[in-house]
Amino acid sequence: MTVPALTGGRLAGRPDQPLLVVGPSLGTTSRALWSAAAGLLGDTFDVVGWDLPGHGGTPVQAPFTVGELAAGVLAHVERIAAARGDATARFAYAGVSLGGAVGLRLLLDAPGRVGRAALLCTGATIGTPPAWRERAAVVRASGCAALAGGAAERWFAPGFADRRPGVAAELVRGLADVDREGYAQACDALAGFDVRDRLAGVAAPVLAIAGARDAVTPPASLKRLAAGVRDGRLAVLDGVAHLAPAEAPRRVADLLLTHLSGPAVSSPAD
């Protein structure tokens, strides 16, 4: 197993508050995707992000699986928790799309560490292996800038880029800065990701948040996730597509404040 060394830092809050770890989607950084929502969570949580290899400050490394990425997130959190003086503490987790897939692996592989989780615009599997292999090949050949036009259509609900041009432009611009090999490795990891048969092993309370306009991970994907874990609930955001924390920071923050502040122990289901 190769565990990628990840970077990322505090987005909001203080070290004396409960730790909330937030994860990005493919092609975004935790700061660009989460900063607006994190600003609304910072009175309650110490909000800390992590970044994929080739994205933000994390260097490209050896190829990785989603499970290895989750181990990298755990190591990153342990470094941050040690600086907070509580290396073995539980944390809350919220992740979008690939960041949500990593959340599922954390819930399965480190069940004692994640007290509660919100998984946004994601699924127990995302897309299809051939489509991810094809995207990896395109990006290795042409770079991430070649993806910008299609990305905006997948990421934002119709009308969002007109209402919030600065937010949309910053996220799309950020995609051009992503290292092509890091992006392609993440596509390869998604091609191999499938935990549909393992959802019943997730015991922590999970809030699955879907964008009603999301074509990548439609509400049906989040509904299956919420129904498959032992203690799951579904929320669907109207007028939102795939990048929910950037598109609807207030609604996402309100859902997270309510869900993640609840007790960490799941109700016994079996």
Select 20 or 216, whichever has its Cβ closest to ligand LWBT4IAB: 216
| Residue 120 found at the interface with ligand LWBT4IAB (CB under 6 A) | no
In the complex, the smallest distance separating the C-beta of residue 120 from ligand LWBT4IAB, rounded to whole angstroms, is: 10
Select 30 or 266, whichever has its Cβ closest to ligand LWBT4IAB: 30
Amino acid at residue number 74: L
Sheet holding 19-23, edge to edge: 10-12, 46-49, 19-23, 91-96, 114-120, 206-211, 232-237
Residue 171 class from Cβ within 10 Å (0-12 exposed, 13-18 middle, 19+ buried)? buried
Q: How far is CA 194 from the centre of its chain?
A: 16
Buried residues in 40-72 as b, exposed as e (16+ CB within 10 A):
bbbebbbbbbbbbbbbbebebbeebbbbbbbbb
Tell which residue, 105, 124, 118, has the closest CA to residue 21. Answer: 118
Interaction residues for ligand LWBT4IAB, span 219-248 (CB under 6 A): 242
Select 157 or 203, whichever has its Cβ closest to ligand LWBT4IAB: 157
Closest residue to ligand LWBT4IAB, judged by C-beta, is 97
Select 149 or 166, whichever has its Cβ closest to ligand LWBT4IAB: 149
Stretch of 19-27, 138-146, 205-213, 233-241 lying at the interface with ligand LWBT4IAB (CB under 6 A): 19-27
DSSP 8-state assignment for residue 215: S
Helix or strand holding residue 12 (H, E): strand 10-12
| Residue 10 found at the interface with ligand LWBT4IAB (CB under 6 A) | no
SS3 content of the chain, % helix, strand, coil (to 5): 50, 15, 35
| Residue 154 found at the interface with ligand LWBT4IAB (CB under 6 A) | yes
Interaction residues for ligand LWBT4IAB, span 28-67 (CB under 6 A): none
In the complex, the smallest distance separating the C-beta of residue 122 from ligand LWBT4IAB, rounded to whole angstroms, is: 8
| Residue 97 found at the interface with ligand LWBT4IAB (CB under 6 A) | yes
Residues that bind ligand LWBT4IAB (CB under 6 A): 25-27, 97-98, 126, 151, 154, 190, 216, 242
